[in-house]
Amino acid sequence: MATACTLVVSFPRHKKHPSNPDPISVTVNNERFFANHPLLQLLDQCSKTTHLKQIHARMLRIGLFSDPFSASKLIQASALSELSSLHYAHKVFDQISQPNLYSWNALIRSYASSKEPIKSLLMFLQMLYQSDELPNKFTYPFVIKASAELLALRVGEGLHGMVLKSEVGSDLFVLNSLIHFYAQCGCLDLAHRVFLSMPKRDVVSWNSMIVGFAQGGYADQALELFHGMEEENLRPNDVTMIGVLSACGMKMDLQFGRWVHSYIKRKGIKGNLILNNAILDMYVKCGSVADAKRFFDKMEDKDVVSWTTMLVGYARMGDFNAARTLFGEMPYQDIAAWNALISAYEQNGNPKEALATFNELQLSKEVKPDSVTLVSALSACAQLGAMDLGGWIHVYIEKQGIKFTCHLTTALIDMYSKCGDLQKALEVFNSVESKDVFVWSSMIAGLGMHGRGRDAINLFLKMQETKVKPNAVTLTNLLSACSHSGLVDDGRKFFNQMEPVFGIVPGVKQYACLVDILGRAGHLDEAVDLVENMPIPPGASVWGALLGACRLHGNLDLAERACDQLLELEPQNHGAYVLLSNIYAKSGKWDKVSELRKLMRNSGLKKEPGSSSVEVNGIVHEFLIGDNSHPLSKKIYLKLDEMIARLRSSGYVPNKSQLLQLIEEEEEQDQALYLHSEKLALAFGLISKSPSQPIRIVKNLRICDDCHTVAKKISKLYNREILLRDRYRFHHFKAGECSCMDFW
């Protein structure tokens, strides 16, 4: 303790105008302290930055700014007010010769919840190294929050260490912020460990943990914790319930959701807009638009989130009209509302409408597309094979200087791959610096679907040199790449490595891939053995893969067995009927084929109509079987006749094994084949695209044997490159050959 203490008290010498009083100060050991000056009280009432600046000026004039306490008040006001002129606050801060801990904390806090949380950490470091101040119990929650925003696991762990060594190691606020931090970084086990280690927990501790579990996708754990909270007689609040509702939505458990809703009412938990929106969202996620609508109509306050949530509800039910209407009724449409509509179309099998809406958005000029919009639009392009538009979006992203987030990169790679331009996909992949597991996985998928299995494997190996860990999707894509290229040994090897090397338990999807790999290569016994000894029940995809193998290798008994199993799991799977009937047709069992058709008709199943699309000058033209709705239909059929004639003279004989029904007349059989949508698309491509451009066709189903042969021959006879994407993969037709090596 200082023993020699000089104390000087100075009073104002004379009364001045009351709004401009002289400061009252106390000097201790040559350091001057000012009493709470009336000017400082004005700071709280500032409503404009100009007010702030005026007070700042006055403070400088009367020397109040040199008082650290007063300066810290100014920092606080400029950094944390609604106006939040953080930049200004920082400049003011830099003028303070010896900022006190309070000023540091105010700025660190403000940066933590700003758009640049990294600056919070930089300020923190600056404080550690360039000042004498040490962090206190207020500092830690801010910097930990900044680390959470940045998902900076290492930084947060370091802070955790500092906390443990300091005196604030058991501060409730600090520990709560650590729970939130670990949960945000996806380390729920670490978050939970902090939670359990706490000597005391308050409602925020529970909320952080519950919300953490809910957002991390662990609905059960979140709900379990909610019950645990009840057992401890701790009163849940609105934030708790928001977390619980989010978990309900994930579980899609309407019963329980309704119970939670009534619980909120029963316990008198004070409602607010966010909570109400969460209730609405829960009903939508649980699939009850009726409950959602009832609640929505009763809501007094509604914001864009409420409207958008309701819109999504309609869209999920496939009620696009209601969604559209609601969109029009909203007080205003922000970009999120547009995004909801666009992605609703895109994710519910209506990519064309998604692009039409995207177009509408651009014409409206009210709001600008953001990266979410572009991801949805790119995905719609990918589905349609609309590469002109996809490429345009790519340019748009570059021109607008929009950041290539991993999400966007993934969407671009996927779009280019699925539109058939693998080279462009690789260019995008190679040009970006940040690659997360999805970026890598999409590139592996791209190589795989184009039959470049060896390259896909090499990329996977390269991925392992980075810190990015493969996930289940990566492995599925890798295995499917092996399957498309017939790489049996590699496929088997990677499958066996899954659990021991990559720590991923093989799921139904990966089993299906391996069955496909083995089956395609003709190892039917091994495939059957695998299916029979699976530790998990074989899903429809596994039986489907086996059935596909039977189609290739013509094993009737096994095909019937697989088909039975498949239909038991998915009675509506028309693909199963089609595959089996292909197998019957191949072995000439036309009676069985018609029997199957009868069965299909009786169970109200229709074969999904085949359709093929070609993009010309940014417009996607779609063709159905025997389609003559196209304006150039006459020309297309003339071209088709010419194609067939040229093919015939070069020795082509139609392959009818994949007709779905027995057509008696030979000529009619041929006609049915000629009318296949991919042939119409091909004819249209030939007349409307210049010879230097490849013809890109997207087919919704698998390409049939005959169309495959025709495309090969056409590529040679007309010297054209043809890129056809079917349901499973790409076929590059060039000079009479196909990249799939006739193996698909």
Are 467 and 434 a contacting pair, CB within 8 Å?
no
141 binds DNA (CB under 7 A): yes
Stretch that binds DNA, among 203-211, 292-300, 450-458, 548-556 (CB under 7 A): 203-211
120 binds DNA (CB under 7 A): no
147 binds DNA (CB under 7 A): no
> In which residue are the tokens 């009163």 written?
235
Are 358 and 380 a contacting pair, CB within 8 Å?
yes
86 binds DNA (CB under 7 A): no
How far apart CA 731 and CA 723 sit, in angstroms, is 6
Q: Which of 221, 277, 441, 573 binds DNA (CB under 7 A)?
A: 277
Residues present in the chain in total: 744
Q: Which of 62, 172, 552, 632 binds DNA (CB under 7 A)?
A: 172
319 binds DNA (CB under 7 A): no
441 binds DNA (CB under 7 A): no
Stretch that binds DNA, among 333-341, 385-393, 595-603, 615-623 (CB under 7 A): 333-341
Sign of dihedral through CA atoms 381, 387, 390, 392? Answer: negative
**Identity of the residue, 279 or 683, whose beta carbon is nearer to DNA in the bound complex:** 279
Q: Which of 43, 64, 123, 174 binds DNA (CB under 7 A)?
A: 174
Q: Of 440, 485, 727, 480, which Cα lies nearest the Cα of 612?
A: 727
Q: Which of 120, 207, 485, 573 binds DNA (CB under 7 A)?
A: 207
100 binds DNA (CB under 7 A): yes
Residues in contact with 343: Cβ distance below 8 Å, sequence separation at least 6, in sequence order: 354, 372, 376
- Backbone torsions φ then ψ of 466, nearest 5 degrees: -95, 180
Stretch that binds DNA, among 269-277, 595-603, 682-690, 704-712 (CB under 7 A): 269-277
Q: Of 576, 624, 622, which Cα lies nearest the Cα of 600?
A: 576
- Backbone torsions φ then ψ of 136, nearest 5 degrees: -120, -170
**Identity of the residue, 178 or 698, whose beta carbon is nearer to DNA in the bound complex:** 178
Shortest Cβ 511–DNA spacing (Å)? 31
How far apart CA 639 and CA 627 sit, in angstroms, is 14
How far apart CA 148 and CA 145 sit, in angstroms, is 5
278 binds DNA (CB under 7 A): yes
Residues in contact with 18: Cβ distance below 8 Å, sequence separation at least 6, in sequence order: 38
Shortest Cβ 70–DNA spacing (Å)? 7
Class of residue 254 by CB neighbours under 10 A (exposed 0-12, middle 13-18, buried 19+): middle
Shortest Cβ 50–DNA spacing (Å)? 23
How far apart CA 307 and CA 323 sit, in angstroms, is 10
- The encoded tokens of residue 229 equal 């909270």
136 binds DNA (CB under 7 A): yes
438 binds DNA (CB under 7 A): no
DSSP letter, residue 65: G
246 binds DNA (CB under 7 A): yes
59 binds DNA (CB under 7 A): no
202 binds DNA (CB under 7 A): yes
**Identity of the residue, 55 or 740, whose beta carbon is nearer to DNA in the bound complex:** 55
**Identity of the residue, 68 or 491, whose beta carbon is nearer to DNA in the bound complex:** 68
Stretch that binds DNA, among 31-39, 116-124, 481-489, 521-529 (CB under 7 A): 31-39
**Which string of x and - marks every residue 337-376 that binds DNA (by CB under 7 A)?**
x-xx--x--------------------------x-x---x
205 binds DNA (CB under 7 A): yes
Question: From the centroid of its chain, how far is CA 348?
Answer: 15
240 binds DNA (CB under 7 A): yes
Q: Which of 42, 122, 299, 304 binds DNA (CB under 7 A)?
A: 304
**Which string of x and - marks every residue 488-517 that binds DNA (by CB under 7 A)?**
------------------------------
Stretch that binds DNA, among 67-75, 325-333, 424-432, 508-516 (CB under 7 A): 67-75
Q: Which of 39, 155, 281, 387 binds DNA (CB under 7 A)?
A: 281
Give the Cβ contact number of residue 424 at 10 Å.
20
Stretch that binds DNA, among 96-104, 503-511, 577-585, 707-715 (CB under 7 A): 96-104
Give the strand pairing for 730-734 and 722-725.
antiparallel
Amino acid symbol at 272: N
133 binds DNA (CB under 7 A): no
Amino acid symbol at 87: H
How far apart CA 611 and CA 625 sit, in angstroms, is 7
Are 120 and 111 a contacting pair, CB within 8 Å?
yes
Output the CA–CA distances (angstroms, integers) from residue 616 to 75, 406, 611, 693, 695, in the order listed: 60, 30, 16, 10, 9
How far apart CA 115 and CA 85 sit, in angstroms, is 13
Q: Which of 151, 164, 274, 653 binds DNA (CB under 7 A)?
A: 274
Type and span of the H or E element at 25: strand 25-28
Shortest Cβ 136–DNA spacing (Å)? 6
Q: How many residues bind DNA (CB under 7 A)?
A: 68
Residues in contact with 377: Cβ distance below 8 Å, sequence separation at least 6, in sequence order: 342, 346, 354, 355, 358, 369, 389, 393
Summarize as ranges the residues that interact with DNA (CB under 7 A).
33-36, 67, 69, 72-73, 76, 100-102, 105-106, 109, 113, 136-138, 140-142, 145, 168, 171-174, 176-177, 180, 202-205, 207-208, 211, 215, 237-240, 242-243, 246, 272-275, 277-278, 281, 304-305, 308-309, 312, 334-337, 339-340, 343, 370, 372, 376
